[in-house]
Amino acid sequence: MFPTEIETERLRFEPATPEQTDVHELYQIYSSDSGIEDVTEWVAWNPHKNPGQTMDLLEEYESKWDAHDRATYCIYPKDSEEGGGEIAGTTNIRVNWDQRRGRLGLWLRKKYWGRGYSGERAAVFLELAFDLLDLDVVVVSHIPGNEKSEKAITRYVDRFGGRQEGYIRNGLAGESGDVYDQVQYSITEEEWKENRQQGGHTFS
């Protein structure tokens, strides 16, 4: 159903599962990575308190993968990139098969901000959504005020002919019971086909 490895020009994506992910490396990132407070300001999770919490998350990812509901990948910059081989963050696509819709998610460690990884990942995940999964529309959102995500998302949504759908109040529930508003965007298969660009990415 979902590819087990994806490569782009600068990035490699592998399933975030207990078998394929170094849980201790991921825990160190989730718990105490430099800049983790700046990351968690804009996501619906808090820094992890112990490795067991990280393992539980990986097991959840694996369960969703097996159910064909969501594919979550760890992002690894290639060796030619600064920090190559390290986990740079995670990304996912959540699938609503009844609505033929996918939702993209992403977070990156602060040291990897500003490199254009968000757009590079979006290009290949749109192809995954439309060519491999045969979906009709992909949506993506950010919490209001997150200017960096807004800039990155707007850039690739415009590039692929999509649009901003609107402001969704209480659109996201956090793990601690908090709720967040969202600004949502969408790209349809037709818009993507009209604006797609052949890239150097592969699925396997």
Here the CATH number for the domain that contains residue 92 is 3.40.630.30
204 domain-assigned: no
Residue 163, token pair as written in the block: 């649009």
pLDDT digits (tens, 9 = 90+) for 38-52: 999 999 999 999 999
What per-residue confidence (pLDDT) applies to 198? 67
The single-letter DSSP state of residue 112 is G
Say if residue 200's pLDDT is above 70: no
Give the count of domains, the chain: 1
- Tokens matching residue 35: 């800049």
Max distance between CA atoms of the chain, in angstroms, equals 46
Beta bridge partners of 93: 71, 104
Give the residue numbers spanning the domain of 153: 6-197
> What average pLDDT does this structure show over 122-151?
97
In a domain, 161, yes or no: yes
Task: List, for residues 143-182, the tens digit of each pLDDT value.
Answer: 999 999 999 999 999 999 999 999 999 999 988 788 999 9
- Is 203 inside any structural domain? no
How far is 145 from 33, CA to CA, in rounded Å? Answer: 23
For 100, how many CA atoms within 13 A lie in the half-sphere containing its CB? 10
Pick the closest to residue 10 from 160, 204, 200 (CA basis): 200
pLDDT of residue 17: 97
Question: Within a domain: residue 173?
Answer: yes
Domain membership of residue 132 (yes or no) is yes
Question: Would the CA dihedral through 132, 123, 11, 96 be positive or negative?
Answer: negative
Q: What is the pLDDT of residue 176?
A: 78
Neighbours of 78 (CB within 10 A): 13
| Residues in a beta bridge with 92 | 72, 105
- The structure tokens listed for 59 are 């097991």
Residue 73 lies in a domain: yes
Sheet with 179-188: list strands edge to edge: 163-173, 179-188, 137-142, 101-108, 89-96, 70-77, 11-15, 6-7, 202-203
In a domain, 61, yes or no: yes
Q: Give the whole-angstrom CA distance, residue 64 versus residue 62.
A: 5
Evaluate whether 13 touches 75 at the Cβ level (below 8 Å): yes
152 occurs within a structural domain: yes
